[in-house]
Structure 1
Amino acid sequence: MSAPIPIILCGAMKGMANLIKTTMLPEYNVFYAGYNITKSAQEVPLIISGHPPHPSSLHTQLSSNDFTIPPRAIITGGVYSDELFQEFYHSCVKACGSKEVLPVPFFRTSDEIADRLSVERKGPAHSSREYPAAVTERLK
């Protein structure tokens, strides 16, 4: 079996970040699991530009914060509105110098899809215990 793919996960709830981080295994290794939008917007651009802060200074200690292997993707939660997602993305582009040298793709989960699936009884509600596993399955 190959090594898990290293990724960065950013959301707004510590408990949800921890649950999703765990359910991404064994295929993906969430080495940074941010749960504070403002802090993640400061830390992630530094990480992907090759200038990560010292791991102990980060707001999140849910994951290894081992930046020796670069991430292969960045995933944000549904709490990131279009505007927040664009601000986050552009701060990462700026830190890397340009869109052309941005080293990773960005993905965002959709609360709209989760809400629609819940209404259609094809998926769990955001507040349910089943939600982290369901959103992780969609991400994979």
Structure 2
Amino acid sequence: MAPPIPVILCGRTEKIGAGVIAALKPEFEVIHFVMTLDAGLEQIPALLQGETEVPSHSELGSKNYARGVGVVILGAGYEDEDIQQLREAAAPFSSVPWLRPDITKPAPPLGPAYGQALVERIKETVNGLQASGVFEVDSVVFY
């Protein structure tokens, strides 16, 4: 079995984040959880540069930064402008896909079923990127 893909997960609440992190296993290892735009603007570029001493405002995430970052996953709480700012801050260092939810697709209300539905879409999207040979490309991909 391949090692899990190291992930930065951006969400607004630890409650939903914890459920998403558990559901992403074993294919993904969430190494860092970002909860605010300001934190992301500082932490994501640092992690993409390979820094290992990165502050965190959340206990979520393994903090296992040794293998770098394979993908950045954004939750629905991040608007277009937020994502643009995060990508601009990380632009010199990013060579990974940034996944963001397609809010036009139906999803359950916030809660455990919501997180599980998004995880299924994330896994399907990453499998498609890997099969297409474009997984290690800086891009924004809707899941």
TM-score range, shorter chain: 0.7 to 0.9
Separation (CA, whole Å) in 2 of partners of 1:66 and 1:14: 18
Q: Flag the structure with larger Rg.
A: 1
Residue of structure 2 equivalent to 1:138 = 121
Quick one: which amino acid aligns to residue 128 of structure 1? G
The two structures have a TM-score, normalised by structure 1, of 0.79
Separation (CA, whole Å) in 2 of partners of 1:34 and 1:112: 24
C-alpha contact (below 8 Å) 2:19/2:112 kept by paired residues: no
Residue of structure 1 equivalent to 2:29 = 29
Tell me the CA shift for residue 90 of structure 1: 0.7
Residue of structure 2 equivalent to 1:99 = none
List 4+ stretches of structure 1 deviating above 2 A.
110-113
Quick one: which amino acid aligns to residue 65 of structure 2? F
Tell me the CA shift for residue 39 of structure 1: 1.1
C-alpha RMSD of the superposition: 1.6
Q: Deviations over 1:66-110 (max 9, x none)?
A: 11101111111111111111101110114x2xxxxx221111113
Tell me the CA shift for residue 43 of structure 1: 0.7
Q: What percent of counterpart residues are identical? A: 25
The two structures have a TM-score, normalised by structure 2, of 0.78
Tell me the CA shift for residue 50 of structure 1: 2.1
Residue of structure 1 equivalent to 2:40 = 40
C-alpha contact (below 8 Å) 2:29/2:62 kept by paired residues: no
Q: Which has the higher helix share?
A: 1
| 1:11 matched to 2:11 | yes
Residue of structure 1 equivalent to 2:96 = 104
Q: What is the number of equivalent residue pairs in this alignment?
A: 123
Residue of structure 1 equivalent to 2:140 = none
Residue of structure 1 equivalent to 2:108 = 124
Alignment gaps of 5+ in structure 2: 124-143
Residue of structure 2 equivalent to 1:92 = 90
C-alpha contact (below 8 Å) 1:11/1:37 kept by paired residues: no
Separation (CA, whole Å) in 2 of partners of 1:112 and 1:88: 22
Tell me the CA shift for residue 62 of structure 1: 0.8
1:67-86 correspondence to structure 2 within 5 Å? 67-86=65-84
